[in-house]
Structure 1
Amino acid sequence: MKSLIVVDCQYDFIDGTLACENAENAVNSIIKYINSNDIKVHYSKDWHSIHNGSFKDNGGVWPVHCVQGERGARLHEDFYKHVEKDVKRPKEDNVFYKGIDDEVEEYSAYNAENSQKLSLKDALEDEVIVAGIASEYCVRETVLELLEAGHMVEILKDGLGYVDSEDHLKNLQDLMERGVRII
């Protein structure tokens, strides 16, 4: 069985302060893929305090986003409503949090932890499919760490949101050249 990592499909990246192109379509494509494949599903979430160092207000480069407990940090509700099998819906054991340390910029979901302190990297199968938001940032960094750790990686192309379409396409080309299969 393969693992699917659904990277940061949270409202701030869909319709909020860092809304990405194709984000809503990506969510729909990911749900269709989940419902039609026998895979183990993991979700990552950016999970920041209001004091996070990556925020412009605190000297960083990003607008305030994915603040713990706020709407922008929630996963898209369709994952709860439209994923058919309960075991594949977001829940305590398959949601992994990253960006908790205010001083560390953490794009990759690879070291994210669930509420029981299990790291995502320890929950994955050898073959991993990655989808989510944003292609050029958190998805890319997650894929690079997976490759470095020796995983076989595929990217669900229709399941990606992105900041800039040109950079997104360059990113996909680069990842293909590194051995990632685009599906």
Structure 2
Amino acid sequence: MDHLIIVDCQYDFIDGSLACSHSREAVRNIIAFANANDVECMYTSDWHSKTNKSFKINGGIWPVHCVAGSRGAEVSDEFNQMNEGNRPGKDNIFYKGKNDDVEEYSACLAANSSGKVLSECVSPHVYVTGIAAEYCVKETVLGLLEKGIKVTVLKDCLGYVSEDDYRKSLAAMKEKGAEVL
């Protein structure tokens, strides 16, 4: 069975401090794809402390987002519409961005509550979806490709910051070997 990696579909990227274009549509499309296909879902979550160095207030470039324990850090509850085994839970949510001093876009080294690392748990072929296409999705895809994992990116299942950069990111992922559908 293939894995469906759902990158950072958290409230801060959907309707919060870093809300992205097409994010609500992406979530609906991800749910439809997962419910119609034989896949096992794995979620990634940006997960920061209030002192994370990526925040503008701490010298970084981003507004405060996805602070551990906040609504903005929660995976969208729309995913409760998934078939029961694919809903978000402690074993299939992988957290990244926990180190305050390191910017971590890729979810390849993200770990779940048991300490299992995402890139070590996936099938030889994965589908990748989520938010934001130009940052965490792209870096996760490139990291998986470097590990020899075959990746299919579902372009209608992506949220993005800029449509131009979204298109450039799709081209960059395809150039590195990802299939884009």
TM-score, normalising length from structure 2?
Answer: 0.98
| Match in the other structure for 2:134 | 136
1:44 paired with 2:55, answer no
- The aligned runs of 1:101-116 (5 Å cut-off) are 101-116=99-114
| Match in the other structure for 1:76 | 76
Structure 1 residue runs of 4 or more that deviate by more than 2 Å after TM superposition: none
Superposed CA deviations along residues 67-86 of structure 1, whole A, max 9, x for unmatched, are 00101001111102x11x21
One-letter amino acid matched to 1:169? R
Which residues of structure 2 form unaligned runs of 5+? none
Per the TM alignment, residue 179 of structure 1 is displaced from its structure 2 partner at its CA by 1.6
Per the TM alignment, residue 172 of structure 1 is displaced from its structure 2 partner at its CA by 0.5
One-letter amino acid matched to 1:158? D
- The aligned runs of 1:161-172 (5 Å cut-off) are 161-172=159-170
**Over aligned residues, Cα RMSD in angstroms?**
0.6
C-alpha distance in structure 2 between counterparts of 1:180 and 1:172, whole Å: 9
- The aligned runs of 1:54-65 (5 Å cut-off) are 54-65=54-65
Per the TM alignment, residue 177 of structure 1 is displaced from its structure 2 partner at its CA by 1.6
Which residues of structure 1 form unaligned runs of 5+? none
Superposed CA deviations along residues 126-156 of structure 1, whole A, max 9, x for unmatched, are 1011000000000000000001000111001
| Match in the other structure for 1:6 | 6
- The aligned runs of 1:119-130 (5 Å cut-off) are 119-130=117-128
| Match in the other structure for 1:148 | 146
Q: Aligned residues, how many? A: 181
Per the TM alignment, residue 122 of structure 1 is displaced from its structure 2 partner at its CA by 1.5
Per the TM alignment, residue 111 of structure 1 is displaced from its structure 2 partner at its CA by 0.5
| Match in the other structure for 1:95 | 93
C-alpha distance in structure 2 between counterparts of 1:142 and 1:2, whole Å: 16
Superposed CA deviations along residues 107-139 of structure 1, whole A, max 9, x for unmatched, are 011100001111111210010110000000000
For residue 147 of structure 1, give the secondary structure of its aligned residue in structure 2: helix
One-letter amino acid matched to 2:142? L
